[in-house]
Structure formats: C-alpha cells, structure tokens
Structure 1
C-alpha cells in the first residue's frame, strides 16, 4: 500500500489489491486499505483478538468517520428537499 499525494494519508486500495486480498464485495470501500493489513495480521496471529488492536482500531475509526460523512450528507439532502417543498 502506498501513500497518497500528500504523503500523509494512505491512498485507497485498488480493485486489484482488494481482489488479491480476497475481500468480500461488501467490504470493498474507502476503508479497505486498512482492512487488508488487519486481515493479514489476524491470519498471521491465528485470529487472537488481542494481537491486532492498532490495526482494528484504525479500521473501525475509518468506518465510523465514513458513517458520519454519510449521515451528514443525508441530513444535507433532507434539508435541501424540505427547502424545496417550502417554496
């Protein structure tokens, strides 16, 4: 996995990387670049729950941030829809 253009944020996983990692289609989202190393860590440590805490925390935080973005976008769409009705 390489870094994005600003060398701080990781770039999203490519379709080929997700395919090679055998990620299910439901998990191929903007956080897949964090899920791939998490799954590798889980596999290498025999899925012991206390072994991959850093990777798991990073992935779950990414999922939470994406959820908040979707909620904000939905609220924005609802506000625009209600604003259109009031005219």
Structure 2
C-alpha cells in the first residue's frame, strides 16, 4: 500500500509541475505521458523499498525521455511547411 501511495504521489507531482496554466504543448504532454508510463514500468521491478525507488526512478526517466520526444515534435511542427499545390496563391 505504501508503494502505491508513493507511485500516485510521484505521478500527481509530475502532473502538477507540467500542467501549469496554458494548454500543453507536445513537450509537456510527452513529459506527462512519459512520467506515467515510466512510473508504471518502474513499479514492476524491485521488492519492498527497492520497488519504491524503482517507481520514482522510472517516473523521472520517463518524464525526461517523454519531454525530449515531445520537444522534437514541437520543433518539427514549428518549421514552415510548404503550401500544398492547390493553394499556392496563383
């Protein structure tokens, strides 16, 4: 029960830190999804206090990796895209 409490606390903390105000961009959404998935994956390893540490470590690593993937998507979508052939302004 204690491990579940720590897991939910870590996920809630990640949610609060990444969802401050404005709509989320891909970096923030990726960080949130990565934290949840990393926490769940980390919870599968270890026993006793080791399970708690693995859950927290999984949450942190997942948040970082998800944020990096989302950041790449943000940079890609901010690049100017060529106009489609039918909308070239002729």
Mark yes or no: TM-score above 0.5.
Answer: no
TM-score range, shorter chain: 0.3 to 0.5
* TM-score, with length taken from structure 2: 0.38
**Greater relative contact order (CA < 8 Å, ≥ 6 in sequence):** 2
Structure (1/2) with the larger helix percentage: 2
* TM-score, with length taken from structure 1: 0.39
Larger radius of gyration: 2
